[in-house]
Amino acid sequence: MKVPSVVIGGGLSGLAAAIRLARFCPDVILLEQHTRLGGLNSYYYRNKTLLETGLHAITNYAEPGNKKAPLNRLLRQLKINRKSLVFHQQKTSEVRFNNQESLLFSNDFSLLNKEIALKFPGSTSGFHRLCSFLDDFNPFLPAPFRSAKQYLSETLDDPLLVDMLLCPLMYYGSSIENDMDLAQFAIMFQAIYKEGFFRPGGNIKDFLTILSDHFKSLGGTIRLGVKVTRIHHTQGSISGVLLDTGEVIECDHLLSTIGLQETRKILHLEESEEQHQRLGFVESIYQVPADAISTLPSDRTVIFYNENEPFSYQQPDDYADYNSGVICLPYNFKNLNTSATVEVRSTHLASYTKWKETRKNREQYAEVKNAVRRNSLATIEKYVGKFRTNIVYEDTFTPVTIERYTAKKHGAIYGSAMKIKDGDIGFKNLFLAGTDQGFLGIVGSMLSGVSIVNQHILPKF
């Protein structure tokens, strides 16, 4: 069969790209190797409840009237009416460096301003300089890597504040160790501090259903459980894809959202060299009955904690690095409907190699998973209070779990350290969007899909 365009990967960037294409050329096929959509932001069922795999919070909250905000631009591009969606804003989040300092932030940027004035009075004018610099800075212009850490150190003149500001931005979207590109920092600063966190009404499955129904209503086709084993190409031009069923789909335009190395693999090209390690993460979910909520914080949505001096964000040699991490309390978004159970989630950096090695022995792997979850629990209880006796269900996913379900190399949720910002990987009619293009987070990855389609495919139709 032959269609004008095929999108590989049913994660959020692939779905957004497919919707954007289908708006103007309905014959789009979206291929997903897993039996469910969502990629990193999917779901599974355990203990008679739906558990989300990736979603802590969506960044880039914006009020409906704010036309220039990334969230509203995205919805316009997808032709999804903002008014048809229900969004719940966060309460308050916190960066807590144990025994050092704590900074609160919310969707009202003035809170962070006040916190910095109060706790880092010497850096107040530096922080204002940073904000005005970011207001005039265009992070989307092509530019070589520039160290955000160095820029911040020069501007703020306080290493603790530098690390505290970087910590949430790194945990929610940095694929490189101990630093960020200044452009990426600028995007994330706006996404997390200036705009802030929200959740869609219901769960991630409902959100994915809105997107997939919209795509289908525009005439698009979704095929789940089909793996692309080969991309056929000659002289820098794609002719189609071969599926694991043996079927060939020919196409004029192909968009891959599965990652750079993952795409090169099915092009049968050598892996390009990677200078940096991929960062692995381990996440645990602790489910407690809703009536046990009273022992947990009632006004913290996400806590980014650190106990290391100085803070480090790098691949550990061990199963998990408990010295820092993210604690998410997904019940602390405003105006949520009550449910029977609520969750506490924890995330730490983890060594893929270590988990991969251990996976060879199923029993040992299960034991280590349990031990890691217990250690994580002991750590996060320091921040949210004791709740272990109330846990009714708990689960952990490792870099190996993530790799198995999402096919992301080494289970690295933020992909390769090297990003292909323009999506051009050397082919006339194959482009890259999603994680390895470089816009991260749910809004970021969806804008990635949309902008690569806008830039490379729509003008050629």
Partner 1 sequence: MTSEEIKDLILEIIEDIDDEADFDSLNPDEPLRDQLDLDSMDFLDIVMELRKRHQLQIPEEDYPQLASLNSCVRYLEPLLKDA
Residues 23-42 that bind partner 1 (CB under 8 A): 23-24
Q: Is 76 a binder of partner 1 (CB under 8 A)?
A: yes
CB of 212 to partner 1, least distance (A): 22
Six-digit token pair at 386?
A: 């004791």
- With residues binned 3-state (H G I as helix, E B as strand, rest as coil), the percentages for the chain, rounded to 5, are 40, 25, 35
Nearer Cβ to partner 1 (12/176): 12
454 binds partner 1 (CB under 8 A): yes
End-to-end CA distance of the chain: 19
Query: Cβ 253 to partner 1, closest distance in Å?
Result: 14
Burial degree of 363 (CB within 10 A; 0-12, 13-18, 19+): exposed
C-alpha 164: how far from its chain's center? 20
Q: What residues from 379 to 418 belong to the interface with partner 1 (CB under 8 A)? A: none
Minimal distance in Å, beta carbon 118 to partner 1? Answer: 36
Q: How far is the CB of 79 from partner 1 (least distance, A)?
A: 8
State the DSSP code for 457: I
Taking the complex as a whole, how short is the minimal distance between the CB of residue 440 and partner 1, in angstroms? 19
Contact pick of 68, 99, 138, 338 for partner 1 (by CB under 8 A): 68
Cβ-contact 305, 381 below 8 angstroms = no
Contact residues for 324 (Cβ-Cβ < 8 A; gap 6+): 167, 304, 305, 306, 307, 308, 311, 312, 313, 348, 349
Q: Which of 60, 77, 93, 257 binds partner 1 (CB under 8 A)?
A: 77
Close Cβ partners of 153 (under 8 Å, ≥ 6 residues apart) = 159, 162
Nearest-approach distance from CB 109 to partner 1, in angstroms: 21
- Angstrom distance (rounded) from CA 80 to CA 451: 16
Token readout for 394 is 């708990």
Least gap, CB of 428 to partner 1 (angstroms): 16
Is the Cβ of residue 65 or residue 121 nearer to partner 1 in the bound state? 65
Near partner 1 by CB under 8 A: residue from 34, 56, 73, 300: 73
* Stretch binding partner 1 (CB under 8 A), from 122-130, 313-321, 426-434, 453-461: 453-461
- Closest separation between CB of residue 414 and partner 1, Å? 24
Q: Does the footprint of partner 1 cover residue 137 (CB under 8 A)?
A: no
Question: In the complex, what is the shortest distance from the CB of residue 454 to partner 1, in angstroms, rounded to a whole number?
Answer: 5
Measured from the Cβ of residue 291, the count of other Cβ atoms closer than 10 Å reads 10
Among all chains, which residue has been given the structure tokens 């190797």?
A: 33
Taking the C-alpha atoms of residue 261 and residue 271, their distance in angstroms, rounded to an integer, is: 6
Which one of 65-73, 150-158, 247-255, 325-333 is the stretch in contact with partner 1 (CB under 8 A)? 65-73
Pairing outcome for strands 28-32 and 221-224: parallel
In terms of CB distance, is 100 or 454 closer to partner 1? 454
Q: Which of 5, 233, 451, 452 touches partner 1 (CB under 8 A)? A: 451
What is the smallest separation between the CB atom of 72 and partner 1, expressed in angstroms?
A: 9
- Sorted by sequence, the CB contacts under 8 Å of residue 44 that are 6+ apart come out as 50, 51, 53
From 19, 293, 450, 452, residue interacting with partner 1 (rule: CB under 8 A): 450
Return the residues of window 347-386 that contact partner 1 according to CB under 8 A.
none
Using the rule CB under 8 A, give the single segment among 69-77, 157-165, 240-248, 341-349 that binds partner 1: 69-77
Give the count of residues interacting with partner 1 (CB under 8 A).
14
Min CB(67)–partner 1 separation in Å: 5
Report d(CA 168, CA 162) in Å as an integer: 11
Please tell me whether residue 121 binds partner 1 under the rule CB under 8 A.
no
Query: Does residue 65 bind partner 1 (CB under 8 A)?
Result: yes
Phi, psi of 315 (to 5 degrees): -60, 120
Report how far residue 79's alpha carbon sits from residue 211's, in angstroms, rounded to the nearest whole number: 11
d(CA 248, CA 237): 16
Q: What is the CB neighbour count within 10 angstroms for residue 419? A: 23
Distance of CA 159 to the CA centre of its chain: 27
| Binding segment toward partner 1, per CB under 8 A, in 71-79, 125-133, 191-199, 372-380 | 71-79
**Where along the sequence are the contacts to partner 1 (CB under 8 A)?**
23-24, 65, 67-68, 73, 76-77, 450-451, 454, 458-459, 461
